[in-house]
């Protein structure tokens, strides 16, 4: 459905992105931020899903600064590669790369950002640092709790976590709720890390449907 496009950031970096357009008039722009597995088939299908919901959606390849065309699966070796690559990505790179993606889809209207895993963290960083973001929806982003004291969103932000996420302690969720009291934070029963990814054992279809419905409603409220 979509196509690969090239973006240029404010600091002169060139990166790829997967972009898909809705069939009719666009409701706005949406930046979809990858997990640690690059712009793989799962992320492309997520971009296509939101395009089908009426948004001009784009997924910037945030790993391009480390290596072009990194596209991983879910075996142990790929997990290790993804974690190693993610460890090299700085917040400044996230801001620049997401900023370029926001600009690419801004002609569609107000722009939201949604992201998963590493992308959930990156979505939070973008909500705090990227101009032109009207709404943000981080999904199971590790590391957000460590940031909330120093960095707070400049746009309405809605959080989504699983109650059985071994990577993110429930104490972290409480810290986010305590600091960002006006930001809805949803915790989904019987849901682990990666619960929206239908290529992983942790996939929870019902939780994904509820979470996506809430995200779409959030965008319609704040980025219409």
The CA R_g of the chain, rounded to the nearest whole Å, is 16
User: Do the Cβ atoms of 162 and 211 come closer than 8 Å?
Assistant: no
What pLDDT was estimated at residue 6? 98
- 90-139 per-position pLDDT tens digit: 999 999 999 999 999 999 999 999 999 999 999 999 999 999 999 999 99
Does pLDDT of 1 surpass 80?
A: no
User: Do the Cβ atoms of 148 and 170 come closer than 8 Å?
Assistant: no
Domain count for the chain: 1
Domain carrying residue 12: 3-222
Confidence of residue 186 (pLDDT cuts 50, 70, 90): very high
The CATH number for 194's domain is 3.40.50.1820
- Mean pLDDT, rounded, of the chain: 97
Distance (Å, whole) CA 205 – CA 184: 21
User: Do the Cβ atoms of 58 and 29 come closer than 8 Å?
Assistant: yes
The C-alpha angle 21, 200, 86, rounded to 5 degrees, equals 75
Q: Beta-carbon neighbour count of residue 199 at 10 Å?
A: 13
Whole-model pTM: value is 0.98
């Amino acid at each position: 459905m979509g196509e690969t496009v090239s973006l240029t950031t404010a600091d002169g970096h060139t990166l790829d992105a997967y972009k898909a357009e809705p069939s009719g008039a666009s409701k706005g722009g949406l930046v979809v931020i990858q997990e640690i597995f690059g712009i793989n088939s799962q992320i492309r299908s997520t971009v296509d899903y939101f395009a089908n919901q009426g948004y001009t959606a784009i997924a910037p390849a945030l790993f391009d600064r480390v290596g072009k065309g990194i596209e991983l699966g879910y075996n142990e070796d790929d997990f290790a590669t993804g974690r190693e690559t993610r460890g090299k990505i700085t917040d400044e790179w996230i801001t620049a790369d997401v900023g370029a993606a926001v600009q690419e889809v801004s002609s569609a209207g107000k722009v939201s950002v949604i992201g998963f895993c590493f992308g959930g963290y990156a979505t939070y960083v973008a909500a705090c640092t990227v101009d032109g973001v009207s709404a943000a929806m981080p999904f199971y982003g590790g590391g957000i709790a460590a940031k909330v004291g120093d960095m707070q969103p400049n746009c309405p932000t809605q959080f989504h976590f699983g109650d059985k996420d071994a990577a993110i302690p429930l104490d972290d969720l409480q810290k986010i709720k305590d600091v960002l009291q006006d930001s809805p934070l949803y915790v989904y029963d019987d849901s682990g890390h990666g619960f929206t990814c239908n290529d992983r054992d942790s996939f929870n279809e019902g939780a994904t449907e509820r979470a996506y419905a809430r995200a779409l409603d959030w965008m319609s409220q704040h980025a219409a």
